[in-house]
Amino acid sequence: MAYLLGVVLFALAILISVSLHEAGHMLTAKAFGMKVTRYFVGFGPTLWSFRRGETEYGVKGIPLGGFCKIVGMTPQDDDVDPADEPRAMWRFPVWKRTIVMSAGSITHFALALVALWVIAVTAGLPNPDFPSSEAEIRKEPAVIQLSECVVPENAIRPCTPADAASPAEQAQLRDGDRITAVNDTPINNYGDLLTTLRTLKPGETARIAYVRDGQPGGTEAVLAKTQRRPLDDPNGAVGDVAALGVGLIPSTPTRTTYGPVAAFGATADFTGDMAVNTAKALQRIPQKIPALWTAITGGERDVDTPISVVGASRLGGEAVENNAWYLFFMLFVSLNFFIGVFNLLPLLPLDGGHIAIAWFERARSWLYARIGRPDPGRVDYLKLMPFTYAVILIGGAFTLLTITADVVNPITLFSR
């Protein structure tokens, strides 16, 4: 039930974001005097609508986005009433059209930034000094955090009554204890603890030496059984290994909480990192298509492959099911930022394509005026339709590919 609630909540968050995207277009267009005739949430048959002034507002039956109709977005629009010609969008200065067309992405960026600021003040943002690589983690002191249980399979999931209790907890170890030796083998860091445990067998009794509040102590633990890949081969075969039922408490916190003022700088820094990572992700999309096809045809799903709104909603469901609300909201931030960037790509029918054409027209008119030639006028969108259809076809095929992968072989962060 919690999983389904999370899926619905995340899908609703996406729908609200897209609806606000269209509201950004509508409000800026109205502010500049352009005529907006319709604003709807969803597509398909109209479920409910009302008219206020010259605009019809409503809800349609398929909740997969929204739209607003601005009169005369291109000079080739043939549904402009002669009385509305002066208010046609294409007649307005290029800077006004740029603001209107970029307002949708700006709305996504605003949602992401506000959410990030709130997260920075309340839950904290990822600590840039936190050890991120496996090598850095293994160098950390072996300060332990007790697990509630030992999951027998190689998976991350909530504990069940059938799972073995944590041997460390049964041995009366506590969170924050630093392991110093196992069976008289010195433990200098967390990597030593992992390596030493791998030399032991499930069911074996291990002598544990530790330091608690500055005082040394000792205990014995009967090791449980779990499954893991080899430490030196992340892609190796999964096998049975001994488990103490502990995790690592890093010497640096995973997240840093900021005050209301400092949170602005932290949000800006994190946003800069997101921008770099988003650019890299966009560049990798063509390379990931074979991996998506492999996932659909029965291969293992690469966690670094793109996901659709279906996959994002499923991850949102997993986050709620496992009480990982921090992950839920960070997914919301990442998705909004990605949509904002993607929508500004200079390709029709994306908003960025309209912006690029508007500035191309402006630059061409300026150049022709300087060389004494007549203004060539507006770009003929009809001549660009084959290219536009190609973008729509490729985008549609890619969307179908990601949705199919997210249905038949979804990315999972937690085992269910």
Cα-to-chain-centroid distance, residue 196:
37
Outline where 343-384 has alpha helix (H).
351-370
**Residue keyed to tokens 């294409």:** 90
Nearest residue to 44 (alpha-carbon basis) of 61, 27, 31, 22? 61
Supply 71's token pair: 């009169």
Whose CA is closest to 190, among 271, 248, 264, 255? Answer: 248
Give 46's strand partners.
60
CA dihedral (141, 143, 147, 150) positive or negative: positive
Is 24 exposed, middle or buried, given 0-12, 13-18 or 19+ CB atoms closer than 10 A? buried
Is residue 357 within 8 A of residue 382, CB to CB? The reply is: no
Question: What one-character-per-residue DSSP string does 55-110 give?
Answer: EEEEEEEEEEEEEEEETTSSTT-S---GGGGGG-GGGS-HHHHHHHHHHHHHHHHH
How far apart are the C-alpha atoms of 58 and 350, rounded to whole Å?
23
Among the options 22, 318, 321, 361, which is catalytic? 22
Asked if 22 is an active-site residue, the reply is: yes
Dist CA 310 CA 405 (whole Å)? 10
Which neighbouring-strand residues pair with 52?
55
Q: Whose CA is closest to 398, among 356, 347, 364, 351?
A: 347
Return the active site residues: 22
